Amino acid sequence: MTATVAVVGGGYGGIAAAKALDDVADVVLVEPRDTFVHNVAALRGLVDPEWTDRIFFRYDELLGRGRVLHDRAVRVDSDAVTVGSGERIAADYIVLATGSGYPFPAKVDVDDSTSAKEKFRATYDALAQADNVLLLGAGPVGLELAGELKAAWADKTVTIVDPVDDLLSGIDFPDKLRAELRRQLHEMGIELLLGTSLRTEPPSEAGEIKTFTATTRSGREIVADIWFRCFGVRPITGYLAAELATARRANGHLDVTDELRLPGEQRVFAIGDITATPEAKTAKAAGQHAEVVATNIRTLIHGGDELTSYQPGPPSIALPLGPRGGASYTPDMGLLDAETTSQLKGADLMVDALHEMLGAPARNDR
């Protein structure tokens, strides 16, 4: 009999794992969204209406044998996934790939693509009216959003506020990367206010057009017409049954073994943002997790017991600042300039790779 593999979550890691196992198992991909959302390009989709539709892909062409179940996992135990409708999917192997939540616009917070596109367009319209934009957070999302904003609207004032004293805090990158990013941000006219925070929360909702004056703890007043929160990642792991929930840390991440299994579990794996692996949570890392887990499940299905271990890579990043700006770093290649970053990620934002896996983007259904 063919083994059944339930993949919970249809993000970058989930689709890679499901597709890699489609020829050897009965794969059920459990995903509440009606389309795959290409979060890597979400910020471009916010500032450029021609990109908005391009970040949504239907799941129809992902699997040849398996199926995609558009529902939300409400309980996962060692041998089954129960979804919101009440259906219980018995599985020989389970891959947890539910990813993380993050404030809009880096990630959308609705399941249907029509509502998501409407939110992007409404926020674009609000941005078009704004002269001054305030971003809270100088991590990768804040910097990338700032670059996209200035590339689309060079005349807008963009200010980034972060309580930490430097860019990309908590990540072991060389000073020369931060220096290059600072240089480009300065040339683009983006103001960095680091080592301080706002005395009070903005009086409006994030993404809402409403002029206000914010004051930092250092006493600086900032006039803004719209603001965005660029921090606050949240692993989505609240569906685990008691016997699996012991792997969950206080911050929501899951402990995993070298083979990316939950501790004490032989057939339950976790990949992507939800893992507690010591590395940046990126689409690339999720894909690498998926490759290891798919290889290990294949081995187990065929009766083998020598599994592949996952080794987190050293810190690396490709951080575009608009289509033609940005900087990248890898330990092997060192610091890469704006032109190389654009070739790697900035211009295409990896859309072509998703075409190969998922087919053409979903068309505008309004």
- Residue 221 contacts by C-beta under 8 Å, 6 or more apart in sequence? 213, 214, 215
- Domains of the chain from N-terminus onward: 4-32+71-102+233-301 (3.50.50.60), 113-232+315-358 (3.50.50.60)
- Residue 140 contacts by C-beta under 8 Å, 6 or more apart in sequence? 168, 317, 319
pLDDT in tens, 45-68: 999 999 999 999 999 999 999 999
pLDDT score for 365: 47
pLDDT in tens, 325-359: 999 999 999 999 999 999 988 678 888 889 889 98
Which run of H or of E encompasses 328?
strand 326-330
Closest CA to 348 of 143, 49, 44: 44
Global pTM reads 0.96
Closest CA to 134 of 233, 43, 225, 210: 225
Helices marked H in 188-334: 242-245, 283-301
The amino acid at 265? E
**What residues of the chain score a pLDDT lower than 70?**
346, 363-366
